[in-house]
Amino acid sequence: MPAPSHAPQGPSRGAGRPRSLRVLSLDGGGVKGYSTLLILKRIFEALTPEDGKSPEPKPCDVFDLIVGTSTGGLIAIMLGRLHMSIDECLREYEKTSAVVFGNPVAQNPIGKLFKKVATGSFYDVALLEGAIRDLLVQRGRSADELFWEEDPQCRVMVCVTRSITSKVDVIRNYTSRHPTQQNYKCAIWEAAAATAAAPMFFRSVTLKTGEEWVDGAMRRNNPINEAMNEVNRESERGWEGRAIGCTVSIGTGVAQVREVSNSAGALVKSVVKIMTDSEDVADAFLGSSFGQQLERSHRYFRFNVPQGLQALKLDEWRETKRMNAFTMEYLSKYETGKSVVTCAKSLLDPDAAIPVVTRKLTLRGSPCVNFIDRAAYTNVLKDFFWTYVGDTSQIFVLWGLGGVGKTQLALKLADTMSQRVSVIWIRADQSNNFKLDYSKTRDYLEHHPGDWLLILDNADDMTAILVTTRDPRFQGDFGAPDDGMNVVPMDDEQSVKLLLKLIPARLQNGDDEESERATELVDLLGNLPLAIAQAAANIIDQQVSLSEYAAAFREATDKFEALKAATHDRRTRDPRNAVQSVALTWQISFERLEQSSPLSVTLLGYLACLHWDSVPRDLLRQFPEFAALSDIEFRNVLARLMQLSLVEEYAVDDWPQLRMHPMTHEYAWKRTKEDPAAFITGCFRLLGAIFPLVSGEDDNTWQLCSYLASHAMRVVGLAQSLALQSESQPGLMHVLALYLNAFGNVHVACQMASEALEMAEHFWPDQPSLLNNFRWTKIQCFTNAQRFEESLVDIDTWAETADLTLDADADVAGSSASVPRLSGQKRAALNQKYSALKELRRFDEAHLLSKQLEPPTEGTENEWTAMALITKHNSAHALHRGGRSREARVVVDEVLRNVRGPDGELRVNRREYLAFLNLKADLLLRGGDGTGDMNEGLALFKQVYDEQIATTGVVDSDTWIAANNVVNTLADAPDAFPDSAQTSARIFVEMLTACAAPGMKQLRNQDSGKFQRHVRVFLIHFDEFFRTGRVPAAESDRLLHLRETLMNKFLLQTDVTVFVETFSVHNTRGVHLQQRGRAAEAEICHRDAMKGLVEWGAMGADRPPVPGLNSAKDYEETVATYHYNIMLAIARQGRLEHARAYREENKRSLEFAETCWGPLEVRMQTDEMDKLVHAEAQKRLLDGDVPSDDPEGWWMQHDVHLSRSKMRYGVLKVPKAGENMVVVVDDKEINNASVQEERELEKQQQERRLVADGGNG
């Protein structure tokens, strides 16, 4: 059976080394030490993560002590003292073996034996010494570097035998302070030669200090006992309190002794016998009580190749292939592989194997059965408690919101530590529990001294010691400032994993939609573990599917009613995992709060009525209960909430703000709901008094509005749900509607303004002037929402209630005092009605109304006042839109003739004058009677644009209107204006560059509905200009980057915007890239477009609207178009077979698309023809064939192909006199579509109302 291949992940558990010791013992065996390294290599491969990112660790970084004999001693020195990797050691081992054993003193066996008798050795030990010295120099060390080191991380000990007495001794790279041990001073090469000086093979080695040594294997070929003795000696001095965590012993093969009859053979046999004790020693050690204890606890591992190596002699250095084969066969065995993996795990976490009998004072238990590991906490706890070495106690604080998982993390630590120390659990949630457990703890510790772990759970009073608490003060007070963690809710991945783990498979569908529902549910639960467990319990209790429960929970007005079933873990005996609920958990905190700080409860009531996040701390100070408090007194009120982790404080730009967990916030509201009127009314009064009135596009109060809007929406929503009404409500709803209208949330603004007006009519029916203010806001909202028909009703009511009083300027020279004048409100109402009628295309009514609005000043010197000019302009506008452009032109011309007074100054402001010019230009261009001058009309549009961009810039919506007027005119009739592409490009570059200018930042007026609409129109024009390839290639990347800046800085990323960006930009970009021959990049863009489209489609009924995707048919056709673009991009990379496979995978969609845009094979043939035509055209130019307009000539006959190929391969080059040109066409650059095809495609797309491109890249 093959060996297991899985490996533990990661070479080390934490930043520090483990507390327990890791020991490596290496047998002697001549060249067969090569097998030792192969085995060690396999173990370290199992230590290394499989992600391929982390390097294999070095043995010196893993083991605390490496002990070796003979060849094992050499390996120990290379790995531990020279810090070599295993691979480096393998290479050097082969090299050294060849040098030493490849140069015997005599070359034939008989000669070797007689030479040995005469000289005492088969091989020259000087060669070994020289090889070690050369190795040191190669590694940048001194050839005579000392073996001893100061405080080495990895200790190395090699076994030697004293030549005279045959007494076993050791040489260390560290100083032993045990009174029985001698420390020898020698060089690295001396230590290596001393441990390897096997009798018959090498002569003895004499150190410079006079000691004479031979191979340590003479007496201790397996040095396991020496290694264990050394650990015991050093545990008294240097390794105090550090137990053995993992011991690895590696042999060099089971020895075999053959019968030898002659006297020379007897001599050889006596030498070979030095190896026969290795397994005997191993068996004896494993049979000892200490060895059994280590083996049972997975702290001792013995590896040795049982068959094959015994036939090899100590000096057969050429047999590495045989050694490799026998060793690999051994490692491939299942039991060996299992031991390798277990050994690797023990090396990774040696502390885990330390057995300590657990003497439980209270029921220790374990985490709940469905515990989800949260490595961010468990790893820190494990490192803190396991790697610690010292005499002082350890204190660590876990603090956080109730239900966030503190107790479960403590239970997990207790379960992990229980095999090492006694675990004592004290319940500190109630005083009687604490007293009982504390008394038992004191008695226990008196009778059971030793290591222990004390966990104090739910200690929330300063008089108690705690480990898990809701009070953050204990970190830095009871525990050290750095010894603690704030336990926060899980992340989305952990939360979903926990939820799915708790729910039976039969209540899960397992599809993508359910996965989205699960993510939505845990988000609503604020990723709180206990709340997630309760949700799962309710799913099981109600026997509904996860999707059904998630949908119901989203709509539930009382979230805690939906969590009424508590969570039960009946598979554990631990009472801490029995019945649990978030409501019960927080009830304890609230009850304590009511007893200790009533004002904190009041503050919590107000917080419950506001949004759970971004609550300005200064806002809370304004409530009447806290207004008279000093800063310190208010801080104490707030601190009590923070001490129970009910509220978190943070700062944004040095502005203190508060937040609550959404589920805690919901629970606070549930308790406040018993008497909510006072809190809600207080919030209405305060917010209504400070919420700014958004007056116009130059208003700079939008930042304060943005902070307060979510809180105002929350208060309004709560009041509506409880059917509460007060006189403080209409005012806040009125200003909130104005803000929402300005920021583009017009549908909610309409609802808010309607309810505000209705409520105002209830409270103040006899104040028409006040009511008209509310009515005006409602009209503004309905107008912005394009609900003109509905707005007319309120406009008429407004006009009827406005007095027909004289204007302030009624007494002017030459005017008739008997002519009534419209009041300001009346005029404003009729102007609004005029605009609504115009939008409803009721132009005749609009024109009549505009005449009514004209001031009665004809025949006087005040006939052409600003009001008169504007009114006449409006009348002309209505005539033009009503199809009466000839009459409109007469009025506009009259207005422009009189727009300046006798002094030459304008009688209207500059903005109104530019509006007059815009209408004049539109009449010239689109008058419909054929008498207009298109060049003059375009010139006027350009004049307006140039002035707008220079004066008001891109922060003004009129600048965007002016830009749109120019580029739209050029797009409608490109052939009429020779420089249309250059002019459009200039405007796009100017506008986009201005958006990205240094210091440009988003202002409130950029978020108005009007501003947003015209920016989006501009983007439509830009995308069309870009798609048709009219942007210079050198500018394309920069303009796309600028477009993204515009999207991020000026355009609200809400509703349709995000999806238009996903669908339109990615797809348009892909088409452009295909046109330019960059098919691989195009494929990425098209796939991104498809991903966004599918995500939008998966939203179902909740998805935001997207222009052009108004039905299932629209959606299916867009999907087909996107598939077609992906298929073309694949094929144009030379991957035609992949493209065909893609077509087969999406057969249904692509069958439709190919009927519209052409079969794949036909498009590829067209591409090939484009390439050939481009090459032929360039050749003709080289031959002097100048293009002509002859319809029968070659150039006109191939015009379509040339249009496409020039975009792909570049403009055809006309050679200069005497210039030689070579035409090279790269087959990989074949991509394009003709301009004619694009225009035809655009026409078809408009018919289908698709925001897509039909594969024309």
Residues marked active site are found at 70, 215
For residue 900, the SS3 value is: strand
- Rounded CA separation 507/545 (Å): 5
Structural contact between residues 173 and 147, judged by C-beta atoms closer than 8 angstroms:
yes
- Rounded CA separation 593/607 (Å): 15
- Rounded CA separation 265/268 (Å): 5
Structural contact between residues 1148 and 1207, judged by C-beta atoms closer than 8 angstroms:
no
Would you list the DSSP string of 24-86?
A: EEE---GGGHHHHHHHHHHHHHHHS-TTS-SPPPPHHHH-SEEEEETHHHHHHIIIIIS---H
Q: Rounded to the nearest 5°, which phi and psi values hold at 194?
A: -65, -45
* 3-state DSSP of 418-471: CCCCEEEEEECCCHHHHHHHHHHHHHHHHHCCCCEEEEEECCCCCCCCCCEECC
For residue 821, the SS3 value is: coil
Q: Measuring CA to CA, how many Å separate 666 from each of 569, 720, 924, 1072?
A: 25, 17, 62, 51
- Rounded CA separation 25/79 (Å): 12
Q: In what order do the strands lie in the sheet with 468-469?
A: 422-427, 452-457, 468-469, 397-399, 484-486
Structural contact between residues 869 and 899, judged by C-beta atoms closer than 8 angstroms:
yes
158: β partners: 68, 171
Helical packing angle, 1033-1049 and 1009-1027, nearest 10°:
160
Give the Cβ contact number of residue 55 at 10 Å: 10
Amino acid at 691: F
- Rounded CA separation 498/490 (Å): 10
- Within 13 A of 171's CA, how many CA atoms are on the CB side? 34
H or E element that contains 398: strand 397-399
* 3-state DSSP of 1046-1085: HHHHCCCCCCHHHHHHHHHHHHHHHHHHHHCCCHHHHHHH
- Within 13 A of 1026's CA, how many CA atoms are on the CB side? 30
Structural contact between residues 619 and 670, judged by C-beta atoms closer than 8 angstroms:
no
142-151: burial string, b at 16+ Cβ within 10 Å, e else: eeebebbbee
For residue 941, the SS3 value is: helix
Strands (E), 118-256: 155-162, 168-172, 205-206, 212-215, 244-250
- Rounded CA separation 159/172 (Å): 9
Both structure tokens of 112: 């070797």
Helical packing angle, 768-784 and 824-839, nearest 10°:
20
- Rounded CA separation 1051/1041 (Å): 15
